[in-house]
Structure 1
Amino acid sequence: MTKQTWLDPTRPVPDLGTALPGPKARAVLKSDVAITSPSLPRAYPMVPVRGAGAAIEDIDGNLFLDCNAGIAVNSTGHAHPAVVEAVRRQAESLLHYSASDFYLPIYSQMCHALADTAPMSGPVRVFLSNSGAEAVEGAMKLVRHATGRSGIIAFFGAFHGRSYGAMTLTASKAKYHKGFGPLLPGVHHVPYAGFMPERDDPDADRWYTVEYLREVLFRYQVDPHEIAAIFVEPIQGEGGYIVPPPGWMKALHRLCREYGILLVADEVQSGMGRTGRMWAIEHTGVEPDVLITAKGLASGLPLGGFMARAELMESWSAGAHGSTYGGSPLPCAAGLATIDVIRREDLLTNAARRGDQLIAGLTALRHRHPQTVIDVRGLGLMIGVQFRDGSTAEKVQAACFQRGLLVLEAGEDVIRMSPPLVITAEQVDTALALFSAAVAEVAYV
């Protein structure tokens, strides 16, 4: 993998030189709290200024090992030279011109590159946005327009974003809805694969959601022929990094085909190689009708999008949907470089191997602390560690930060491990050692 320039290769990662937060970080915190919206849900007092690979440095010069990758965004690591160079070249020629009204060459190049990764057979078309939430909103418009139906199904535990339509689909925490009603009409929530009453019975797990749809939702609330689409995360992200049981997605897909319902895979967090394949739904053998992406798509620049079977996208005409900044030249340059790096450096293989290494180490940790660590689950570098309660997870997260390891909570009692796809075997060993020490500290308090 290409080396970074500023980071001394002899310097250990992590390397902490001050108490956390340091003096310069405290000054930033004071300035921040005086002016920014209090709606921003900060996890801990991390004040980053530069990064390289899986290392990130704060304003006081403390060096951290990053195992959250900016919430699964920096897929190729921080400031990958190929991505930086692509952005630099593009910035020198054209910063912006709207692809919604004009023909940007790099926009269609990015669409072709993304379409080449599509987990659907047959032709697809692509729309580019600024973010995951915007992509979700666009996909919601598309499925309603293409089907002539208004109903949409999402899942308890799901997170699809914070704009109004996306927020309506979201059901990972009640606080995301509090005070914002009325929400978008026509959206129904059902149990996700992870919320099963009979976890020891794989057949019950596999069919519970489908039976709920048939016997409850479609019987008492809405006719299935009024449902345009089911929006599903192949692995739930904010809901707690929940991996559905084998066969569950296929059962859901069969139900969709039975009633002419479109299947929309929200891969904002699970996509771009995070699970060891480009898209998490590839692990299930199911082809979605629409796929939504963002986060890791441009290694940190704001770029999202959705791709759909061509006949669906061709159902709407000029002006039905657009975006002033979506697919702007700089993010597209970063997106093209990101896809190239993922392929050229074989980051899918690295994600799978380093994920196996992490899961093995975390499973051993669970066996050492069975009263504290309840579950370890995931695919590739999308791994959740579930604790006995939310307070314990929060304490472990804080203890990791004090040791120079950056992790992030998910759901009510889970810590996610979602490092950059470039993380090395040695860095995984370091992360496991630091995480284990943090868990031990909390377990014995």
Structure 2
Amino acid sequence: MTSNVESLMSRMSERLAPSMAKDHPNLPVIKEEGCYYYGADGRTYLDFTSGIAVTNTGHRHPRVVGAIKKGADLLTHGPSGVIMYESILSLADKLAEIMPGSIDCFFFGNSGTEAVEGALKLAKHVTGRPAAVSFIGGFHGRTYGAMGVSTSKSKYRYRQQPQMNAFQVPYADPALTEAENIAVLDKELDRVFSHQVMPEEVACMILEPILGEGGYIVPPAGWVKRIREHCDKHGILLIFDEVQTGFGRTGNWFAADGFGVEPDIIAAAKGIASGLPLGVTAASKELMQQWPLGAHATTFGGNPMACEAANATIDVLRDEDLLENAEKMGSYAREKLEAMQKQHDVIGAIRGKGLMIGIEIINPETGEADGGGLMEILDLALDEGVLFYFCGNKTEVMRMIPPLIVTKDQIDDGLAKLERAIERYKAAGK
């Protein structure tokens, strides 16, 4: 087993670009199943990352795997438009049933960043306006347009200036009340519109309805509704980036449902196809039909096998009541974490909705974010046998995003392993 691990790591360093291969924790695995990874070292690891919020139905769900095999027996490639096939149309029908409000028309790509690029292009084409407004801390992808509205970390823009014509205002601050956050929003948008760009030149505002990479912050509903009001006032299209929050992660099909706000455009991916590459830019037919042939296109988007997987994913989420399970298990996990917080002063804020949970790690002496401490705790948790991931501007927030099939016993097991990791961290004088 050791030689297998060493071989994988050696070949990775030799053949893969560091920007692809040097993420954390570089766990060599040979198999995945349900809520578990099976390591090349012979150990089994409880996965509380879901491949970064992708395998919401669990790793290799039998119905999804069966749908992929069925798809491969029929079609392995589109391209949609040149040919047409049932799986992409069935998926569009299913998405129309679960999307917020009047959203019922779709452009399929391969990823979240492609879905965001499509959303930005659609908004600019339809409105004829050049600019966008995004929110500080938001992450929307690493391609040029998406990078231009992303501000979760400055390193994502390093040596890539300039980006698109975008202006930023602060995201909701969890330390403030709803009324205070709304007041800040009004003031900051007035500043942008008075000093930087006329609202008549803004095509869209793009928002993560729950901040992901930026630290798992859940904004007040009134703040989100106020953004909708500002957009309506100025004829600005509202884009929700639901790449991480979509497909049951928050206990709703989409986070928009939990805020009672209907965006004009949704960008979604990650959980849509349980691991196969697929993303979608979604809007009403009225809006989408203003985007003519040639304005946007794709070769691989809407791949037949990925669409089969997405159809099965939606069926599994619905048939197995996984949205309900996400809400129930998320509440249970937060209760357990809040009890743990009382025993361990390195745990700061606990935030989240459904099974999208952020656990802040702090320096107990200063109360400041402690990204270094978090990375040590992640390593110790992995050694105990559970995999978490990080987020936040200073990598100070631990993401707990298990598959939506997770059970109470698995949550108990995973959080017991986390607590042992924290105890080891503290015992080492950290």
Taking structure 1 as the reference length, what is the TM-score of the superposition? Answer: 0.92
User: SS in structure 2 opposite 1:212?
Assistant: helix
Is 1:203 equivalent to 2:175 in the alignment?
no
Match of 1:192 in 2: 171
**Equivalent pair of 1:384/1:415 in contact (CA under 8 Å):** yes
Contact 2:103 2:282 in 1 (8 A): no
Question: Is 1:391–2:375 an aligned residue pair?
Answer: no
Letter in 1 for 2:36: A
Equivalents in 2 of 1:300, 1:53: separation in Å?
A: 13
Asked if 1:415 is matched to 2:398, the reply is yes
Q: Secondary structure at the match of 1:46?
A: coil
Residue 223 (structure 1) aligned to one of 188, 198, 203: 198
1 CA distance for matches of 2:290 and 2:186? 29
1:172 matched to 2:155? no
Aligned partner of 1:60 among 41, 44, 50: 41
In 2, Cα distance between the equivalents of 1:264 and 1:202?
A: 21
**Cα separation, 1, equivalents of 2:177 and 2:9:** 49
Question: For residue 116 of structure 2, what is the aligned residue in structure 1?
Answer: 136
CA distance in 2, matches of 1:206, 1:383: 24
Shift of the alpha carbon at 1:123? Answer: 5.4
Aligned mates of 1:225, 1:109 — CA distance in 2: 38
The CA distance in 2 between the partners of 1:210 and 1:57, in whole Å, is 50
Secondary structure, counterpart of 1:188 in structure 2: strand
**Structure 1 pair 205/344, CA: closer, same or farther in 2 (3 Å)?**
same
Residue in 2 aligned with 1:438? 421
Alpha-carbon distance in structure 2 between the residues aligned to 1:286 and 1:358: 27
Pick aligned residue for 1:160 from 140, 151, 159: 140
Runs of at least 5 residues in structure 1 that lack an aligned partner in the other structure: 1-17
Rounded to whole Å, the distance in 2 between the matches of 1:207 and 1:278 is 30
Question: Deviation string for 1:220-256 (max 9, x for gaps)?
Answer: 1011111111100010110011111231101111111
- Give 1:48's aligned amino acid: V
Please state how far the C-alpha of 1:201 moved relative to its aligned partner.
3.9
Deviations 1:147-204 (A, max 9, x none): 11111011111111111111111111111000112222x111111013x7xx354421
C-alpha contact 1:240 1:414 (8 A) present in aligned 2: yes
Q: Does 1:103 align with 2:84?
A: yes
Is the contact between residue 100 and residue 323 of structure 1 (CA under 8 Å) also seen in structure 2? no
Contact 2:355 2:402 in 1 (8 A): yes
**Corresponding residue SS for 1:247:** helix
> In the alignment, is the contact (CA less than 8 A) between 1:149 and 1:228 conserved in 2?
yes
Q: Measure how far apart 1:95 and its partner are.
A: 0.8
Q: Does 1:78 align with 2:52?
A: no
Aligned residue runs from structure 1 range 6-45, under 5 A: 22-40=2-20, 41-45=22-26
The one-letter code matched in structure 2 to 1:376 is I
52, 68, 80: which one aligns with 1:87: 68
- Distance in 2 (CA, whole Å) between partners of 1:316 and 1:205 is 35
**2:30 counterpart SS class:** strand
Equivalents in 1 of 2:256, 2:330: separation in Å? 17
Q: Runs of 4+ in structure 1 displaced over 3 angstroms? A: none
Q: Which AA in structure 2 matches 1:423?
A: V
Q: Is the 8 A contact 1:23 1:60 kept in 2?
A: no
Question: 1:6 — aligned with what?
Answer: none
TM-score, length of structure 2 as denominator length? 0.95
State the one-letter code of the partner of 2:425.
V
- Partner amino acid for 2:352? G
2:212 paired with 1:232? no
Contact map agreement 1:206 1:246 (CA 8 A) in 2? no
Contact 2:95–2:104 (Cα < 8 Å) also in 1: no
Whether 1:334 aligns to 2:309 is: yes
Partner of 2:244: 269
CA contact (8 A) 1:100 1:322 kept: no
Between the aligned partners of 2:73 and 2:221, the Cα distance in structure 1 is 49
Q: SS at 1:152's partner residue?
A: strand
Gaps of 5+ in 2: 363-369
Aligned partner of residue 427 in structure 1, secondary structure: helix
8 Å Cα contact 2:250-2:326 kept in structure 1? yes
